[in-house]
Chain A
C-alpha cells in the first residue's frame, strides 16, 4: 500500500515538473557548494595531517653570529666539537609555475627521533640513497608537476634545465611539492646556489656554541593552527549557501504539500492510516535527498577540483603551508556530505511532515483558509525573528566582553544570527508594508489590487525573498571587504616599498655590499634592513599593571625587523597609532623605543606608551612602544627597531637592502655593475614593480575563492527566486484571468507582475544594504582581527551596491517576465477556462 501512496504522491510532480526541478535544484546547489568546500577542507587537513603525524620532533637551527653563510667547514668544526648538528642543503625549482622545494639531507647525522614508529619505508636502502645516482624522494601527489603517473614514476629521471633529477622514489609520508634527496645530490644539482643550514634535535643544545646563534623551534605554530581561520571562513560561506539552498527546498516542499493537501485527505478518507502517509512523505524526502546529495557530490567535487589549486596557492603564499592540488578524501567525507544533505532536507521538510501528521480528515474545503494560517505564520516568524534578535544581541554582548582578536566562532555566529534575524523579520515587514500600501492606494483600485495580490503571493515568495536578502547582504559584505582590503593593501604596499630597487642576498654578501653602495655616485640613498629574534619577557601596559612572563604565551619568541630611519622611508611608512605624533614617534625609534605591528598590539593588548621587557644581548631591557604599524599578510607578531639597534642589541642579521638612485642614473647599468661586483644572480636584484606584482598576484589568488563562492551564493538565491516564481506561474494566470475579464487591458496585465516582483526585489535589495554594511563592518573590524590579527578600514563601493541592486531587480524581472510572456501568448478564453476549472 505504501508504495501506491508514494507513487501517487510522486505523480504530483508529473503535473508540476517545475516544482520537482526547483526541489532538486535547491538540494543540488545546497549540497554542491557544501560538498566542494568540505572536499577542499578535507584535502587540506589530510595534507596537514601528514605533517602533524611526524611533528613530534622539531629542530633547532644554528647560524653564525657574524652573519656569514654557513659552510661545510662550520659543519666539520661543530661535529668535531661533539655537537649533534646535521646539515640541510635547501634549494628550489620552479616547474610549470609550481615551486618545488628541494631538500638535501644527511641521513647519517639527522637527529634521531625516539618516539617514532619503526615503519619500514619503501624508500630503499641507505646505500642507494647516499650513493650516485642517488634518489629523489617525493610524495605521489607531486608527480603531476612532472606529468608522470605512478607507473612511469619509479626510477624516472625528469630533466630540469640541463640536468636530470636522481631517479624518483615515492614516499607517501612526504608533504606535497617537496623533493628529498641526499645532500650530495642537491650539491650536484645546485652547487653554491643551495643554502646550507645546520639543525639539531630541539633542545639538544642547552646553549649555542661560541660564534654561533641558536634559533629554537618553539615559537612556530603548526600549519593547522595558522590556517584554521582560513578554513573557518570557507566553511562559513559554504554553510551560508547550504542554508540558502535549503530555503529553496523548503519553499518547493511547502508548495507541493499545499497543492497535494486534497490528495492527502482523499487518502485518509479512503482509509490509509496517518502513519502510512507520514512514512510515504518521509520516503519521498529520502528519495529526493539521495538524488540531490548524489548530484551535489558530483558537482561539488568538480567545483572543488577547480577551486583547489587556488586554495593551495593561497595557503602556500599566506602561511607557507603546502596543500596538495588534487583531492584526497577520507571515507567520512562522503558520509558527512550525504548526511548533511539529508539532515538539511529533513529539517526543511519537518514542517511538511508535521502538517501531514496533523492532517484533519474532515477539514476539507479549507484550502483557501491558508491566508489566515499565513497570518499566524507571520506572527510565528516575527516571534522567531525576535528570538534570533535576542541571540544576536547576546552574541554581540559576548563579543564585546572578549579581548580583541579572539572569538572568531562567536563573530561568525553573530553574523549568522544577524542574517537570520533580518531574514525572519523580512516577511512580516513586507506584509506590513503591503498593508500600508493597500491603505494608501484605496482610491486606485488597480493599485490596491496590486498590493493586495502581492500580499496574497507573499507566503510563497517569502522564502525566496529571505534567501535573496541573505545572499545580497552577504555578497555586499564580502565584496566590500575584498574591495576594501585590495585598496588598503595596494596603498600600504606603495608606502612600504619606498625604494625602487631591492637586493635580496645572504647576510655575508650584504655587509660589504652596503659599504660599497655608499661609495657609489649613482646611489642617492640606501635603505638597509635587518631581521632577528628576541623574547618578550614582560609587559607594562597602562591598562593593567605589569604582567609577568610567567604566562607561557608571553614568554615567546618574537620577530624583530630593523629599518633605517631616513626620510625617504619615514615619510611614507604607514603608522596606525602613535603616542605623541608621527614625527616624535620616529625620533623615539632612534632611541630606546620600538614600534609594534598591529598583530602584536592586538594579541598582547598593547598601546603606544606601554613598555615591553625584551631579552637583548645586554640582558633584559625595557623598551617603550612608540607606535603601531599595519603589517598586512604577516601571520606573526613583529617588533620594529632601527637596523643599528637590531644589530647591537638583538641576535640578527642583515636582510634585503633598498636602493634609491639619482634620477639621472642608468638603472640597468647600475644593476649590471652590482651583479658583476658581487657575483649576484639576477633574482637577487628585484625592482619595486616586480615585488608589487608578486604581492598583488598572491592577493588576487587569496580572494579568488571567496569571490567564486560569493558569486555562486548569489546565483543560488537568484535561482531560488526564479524557481519559486516559475512554480506558481500557473496559479498566477488564474488570478490574472479575473482581472482580464473585468476589462483590464492585456498590456497592463502583463506589466503588473513585473511591477510587483521588481518592486518586491527592489525593496528586499534596499533592506539588504544596511544589513550588508553591518556585515562588512563585522568582517573587517571583528572577524579579520580575530582571523588574521589586523583590522581594515571600512570602505564602501557605491557602484558595487548599485550593481547588486540591479542584479536583484533584473533577476526578479526576468523571473516575472517568463510567466508574463506565457500570459501574453495565452488566449483570453484559455485564461477564463483556468478560472472556471
Chain B
C-alpha cells in the first residue's frame, strides 16, 4: 500500500465527542428502534379479517397473525445460538493453517 495518504493513527484523546459517543444517545437510538419495530408489527392489523388489504399469501400459515415478525425473530435467535455452538467445534487459532 504505497499511498502516502494511508496513515491510520490512533485518535487524539482530546478529540471532540460525537453525538453517538454519549451513552444516553445510544440508548435513545435503541428506544426509537424498539418503537418503530412495534409500529411495523402493528401494521399486521391491516390484514386482519382482510379489513383493509387482502393479504396475498401462498401458504395458510402466512395468515397467522404476526407470522413474519415471529419468523424473523425466531430465525435469528436460532441462527445465533446454533452458530455460537458451532464455535466449539470449528474454532481454531488464527494461524491454525500456517503451523
Does chain A bind chain B? no
What residues make up the interface of B, taking CB atoms closer than 8 Å to A?
none
What residues make up the interface of A, taking CB atoms closer than 8 Å to B?
none
